Structure 1
Amino acid sequence: MFKIKLKKEKRKKVEEETVEDLISSLRIEGRRLPENYEIVENYPLRPPFSYALILREKDTKELLYFVDEIPLDPKEQESFIKLREVLEAELQAPEDNETPVQAFRRQLPEIIAKHRDLLKDVSPVGIKKIEFYLERDVLGYGKIDPLMADPLIEDISCSGANKPIYLWHRKYENIKTNVFFNSEEELDDFVMRIVHKAGRHVSIAFPMVDATLPGKHRLAVYYRREVTPLGTSFTIRKFREDPLTIIDLIQNETISLEVAAYLWLLVENKFSSMIIGATGAGKTTALNAIAGLIHPQHKIITIEEVAEINLPRENWVSTISRAGFGMEDKGEIPLYDLIKSAVRHRPDWIIVGEIRGEEAYVLFQAVATGHGGLCTMHAEDAETAIKRLTQPPMNIPSTIIPLMNCIISVKHVKAPALVGFGRGFSKRKFVKVSEIDSSRRIRDVFVWDSSTDTYKIGLSESYLFRRIADKWNLPVEYVYEEFERRKEVLYYLAEMNIRSCRKIDEFLNQFYNDPKATYQRIFKSRRAGW
């Protein structure tokens, strides 16, 4: 009997694979492309059912992100609607240690078998298409599910019904899509569903929501016309499963080897840093990459309003602020309380996603007691950042401003597209790295020159290098020698493409446990031509 069961399971698996292959081999036509557009690039999203096409309008050269999904024919559409209603009525909650996806895929064949009459005259290919759309709409994100599946998309933005959804693409930047909601009712229902998916509530009484979706994607919502005359809108900032590291920033030319080596020495000696810049400049990415240089054995506590920091480490505690309940906001846990509580857990590092209020004062007090500190803040430059820090609502006394040893300015730099020079480049850059000395003077140690795409380096009088020398009880010349060695190490990591968080953690463990042997191995590899 066991053999018979195995044969049945094997036959079923072969049949499923045959249907999948059949869909691919038939190349069933997807949506019709708009006229006067040419294909720039295409790649799979959820093959063989959905693909992304980057189109260019031949006259205006405007780009369009085109979601190409296999359509349902009228019969399939009718069966899909009926089955979706059945699913919503009969689908059970996941069992213990079962994910929603596993529960859905376990129950779907049973429900389809039970209601086989709903799929009468539907081909095996049609059934596969219906299963795809059921999972997309019931378990996924409906119309925007293909966008959520695209790893190259950072932000998804909907400004209202009957308007195209826009997104931020890592390769093509701001780009319009062919996806939109047909009515305000459809959009309101969709937003209500994804807010509930995030475990939150939205209504006319509470029309603004900032929440975290499954997968740690950040969701911001305006509901109906309570705060905007244009109706419901939402923005999703997608969470990156594989976060960018300091090696990625070097390879992407966001920073130079010199900047990376300098920041490594600062982090190793627990000097605090603040990353500043505008929205979308890459502050959180920079914060995550710099935090990846922290000693693997050090305890880190991160404090955020919405989970965005991603440090795949064992000795890391992630904390999230909580909104209150009811009209009086009872049970609210703000960033201020989280930072106060974090100090009692004896962390080596306290990392705050963004400071903007009274929590800044608690962070500075924590840094004053020997904790390492990292944070971000919205500001144009170091001078503006200090003005914001010393004024309400942060109210940091000017005498303790030097506790934030380093200020890093990041920008999304976009060169103008000029005639004769082609398309202007666009990238994120650390445009300035500045030290704050004991007299509250700002000293620029790295300044990016846009005309040459290089850094002007002012390390010869580095205040923090002198402090490191005092801490090590060695001449400052040794710090500069170590700085050069760290450049060699980072160059080796970049050349060998040792870039993932876990690989860098493994390397740092080796480095701190036996730095001499690590240096010798790297220099030996370099002499041998890697």
Structure 2
Amino acid sequence: MYEERALRVIDRAKRVHKILKFDKELVSYVPEEGWRVVEEYWLMEPFSKVYIIYNDDLSDYKYVVAEPELNDFELELLKWLKDELISYLESFEGKGEKEEIVKSAVDKLLKDLNVKLEEESYFKILYYIIRDFVYYGKLTPLMFDRKLEDISCNGYNKPVFVFHRDYTNLETNLEFHQDELDALVIRLAQISGKHISLAEPMVDAALPDGSRIQMTLGREVSDHGSTFTIRKFRDEPLTPVDLIAWKTFSSEQMAYLWLCIENRKNLIFAGGTASGKTTSMNAVSLFIPRKSKIVTIEDTREVMLPHENWIPLVTREAFGERGKIEMYDLLRAALRQRPEYIIVGEVRGREALTLFQAMATGHTTYSTLHADSVSGAIHRLESPPIEVPRPMLEALNIISVQSQVYIEGKRVRRNVEIAEIVHLDPHTKMLRTSTIFQWDSVKDRHVLVGSSKVLEDIRMHRGWSRSELEEELERRKAILEFMVEHNIRDFRSVSDIIHTYQTNPEKVLRKVS
């Protein structure tokens, strides 16, 4: 469940604050000439702080991490403690969380050395030891920053870059020399349960908090040396309400998707890299009825659902010549489990044919696809290596296209089009599509531009009149707007309201009205 990962992140922060409990501020920072601080916030108070700085002449922002400065004695003692801890921890018989074990070991070593430190020196040294032994070394403050989406290191002695939710791409003041970066990449692979070496220098993995990481080691595949890119896991997945509040979708679009998903229509989210495809797919999956049987299939766990009747499946690399489990294998296995909904992280290979066969046999499926338009998505599905026969594409009901765009100089995500697959012309063999919603880039709003065949199918199936269909859409739109207006955005509360509406609509409507 998503709560396990979220609680892991929250517990980690609580443990750090409990052990490193010190009231005096330990960091300070003065920007270089020409730069000024525009925002600052704590990551691990009072030990690490972020300063966003700006240069008017360069029109550029930077991300600066500030940590406590150590004097010569503290540096020497820190080095000695680290050297001793490497062998000491192997035989240390402590129980509890890693932070507590490391703290106990440090206290024992200091006692054996008969060193009594000032409180400030003690906590500064303990911070660096816990940072390096328990977490991610110099990278730790960035991993604690909830405003970061991506962290990228592009090689030896090169600045680490981050993608910040408020400032987009930023250069940081962190960089790693060769031995330091190689050691970090090997450590990141180890704590992800993976192996990386010069013989196998590329690894995709998931960190313990759920963040995705791609790593390369040495100069085998990158002239710049070892690299890594981390796509950070959110403490709590986004909801449809978040996407409406951020104007990624309109409430009218979400009401449409809610009705379509509840009535088991097939959907693919298309878009470029980092356009928010998986985020949107995860968010609208909250519309799946609570007790429906769901199977998710991914390379790395990203989809997080509140549903109890959910089987998450993940691919596996081979351990030697045998043992590799691909999406195709998992999808075939999933079909034997009689799921009502199948969610596939990304369509990109031979599993696509099986996925569309599943659609045609009544399994509702959702997935993502790298494509920038509806026509591009269809072309990609028909072309190698996916190669879905055109007649089978009729089983797909909806294509939702997302993109990163600029609004008033700020990069944001927008759904640019929702289209439906109407039918395959038997004479021309052309696949006809119909755009239902289009994004107006000038006014930054989503416009209803076409009539929906999918909604008409739902109306016929449910035995509604056209006015009843319109009323149902308006009710769902009103519920979504109510949650936006009252800032009801947390994952559990939103899913509870959605699922309560499915079983007891009057109860929710009374609350909204």
TM over 0.5: yes
Aligned to 2:469: 479
Q: CA RMSD in A?
A: 2.1
Mapped to 1, the partners of 2:472 and 2:183 lie a distance apart of 59
Aligned to 1:412: 404
Aligned to 1:226: 220
Mapped to 1, the partners of 2:133 and 2:346 lie a distance apart of 34
SS in 1 for 2:107: helix
Q: CA deviation at 1:17?
A: 8.8
Mapped to 1, the partners of 2:264 and 2:60 lie a distance apart of 48
1:228-307 → structure 2 map (5 Å cutoff): 228-307=222-301
Mapped to 2, the partners of 1:465 and 1:206 lie a distance apart of 50
Mapped to 2, the partners of 1:258 and 1:235 lie a distance apart of 36
Mapped to 1, the partners of 2:237 and 2:403 lie a distance apart of 19
* Matched-pair contact (CA < 8 Å) for 1:278–1:378: yes
Pairing 1:324–2:314 present: no
* Matched-pair contact (CA < 8 Å) for 1:75–1:122: no
Percent of aligned pairs sharing the same letter: 37
Pairing 1:23–2:24 present: yes
Pairs aligned (count): 491
Cα distance change, pair 471–74 in 1 and its aligned pair in 2 (3 A): same
* Matched-pair contact (CA < 8 Å) for 1:207–1:227: yes
Q: CA deviation at 1:114?
A: 4.2
Mapped to 1, the partners of 2:326 and 2:92 lie a distance apart of 32
Mapped to 2, the partners of 1:371 and 1:477 lie a distance apart of 29
**Could you tell me which of 37, 44, 51 is aligned with 2:42?**
44
Mapped to 2, the partners of 1:65 and 1:430 lie a distance apart of 29
* Matched-pair contact (CA < 8 Å) for 1:76–1:122: no
Q: What amino acid sits opposite 2:202 in the alignment? A: M
Q: What amino acid sits opposite 2:328 in the alignment? A: Y
Pairing 1:430–2:428 present: no
Bigger drift between 307-316 and 361-370 goes to: 307-316
Bigger drift between 223-232 and 170-179 goes to: 223-232
Cα distance change, pair 71–65 in 1 and its aligned pair in 2 (3 A): same
SS in 1 for 2:325: coil
Pairing 1:448–2:433 present: no
Mapped to 2, the partners of 1:119 and 1:269 lie a distance apart of 71
Q: CA deviation at 1:48?
A: 0.5
Bigger drift between 269-278 and 494-503 goes to: 494-503
Aligned to 2:331: 339
Q: CA deviation at 1:236?
A: 0.6
Cα distance change, pair 379–179 in 1 and its aligned pair in 2 (3 A): same
Mapped to 1, the partners of 2:338 and 2:93 lie a distance apart of 38
Q: CA deviation at 1:34?
A: 2.7
SS in 2 for 1:437: strand
**Structure 1: segments with no counterpart, 5+ residues:** 1-15, 416-422, 524-530
Q: CA deviation at 1:514?
A: 1.5
Mapped to 1, the partners of 2:473 and 2:463 lie a distance apart of 16
**Structure 2: segments with no counterpart, 5+ residues:** 1-16, 425-430
Per-residue displacement from partner, 1:359-411 (whole Å, max 9, x unpaired)?
11111112222221110000011111111111222121111102110000000
SS in 2 for 1:156: strand
Pairing 1:148–2:143 present: yes
Mapped to 2, the partners of 1:466 and 1:19 lie a distance apart of 60
Q: What amino acid sits opposite 1:442 in the alignment? A: T
Q: CA deviation at 1:306?
A: 1.0
* Matched-pair contact (CA < 8 Å) for 1:31–1:71: no
Pairing 1:180–2:175 present: yes
**Could you tell me which of 492, 498, 501 is aligned with 1:511?**
501
Higher relative contact order (CA 8 A, sep 6+): 2
Aligned to 2:309: 315
Per-residue displacement from partner, 1:270-316 (whole Å, max 9, x unpaired)?
10110000001111111111111111221221111111112233222
Q: CA deviation at 1:19?
A: 8.8
Bigger drift between 511-520 and 481-490 goes to: 511-520
Q: What amino acid sits opposite 1:232 in the alignment? A: S
SS in 2 for 1:441: strand
Mapped to 1, the partners of 2:102 and 2:21 lie a distance apart of 20
* Matched-pair contact (CA < 8 Å) for 2:161–2:172: yes
Mapped to 1, the partners of 2:249 and 2:93 lie a distance apart of 47
Aligned to 1:8: none
Cα distance change, pair 93–290 in 1 and its aligned pair in 2 (3 A): farther
Mapped to 2, the partners of 1:189 and 1:107 lie a distance apart of 20
* Matched-pair contact (CA < 8 Å) for 1:31–1:69: no
Aligned to 2:64: 66
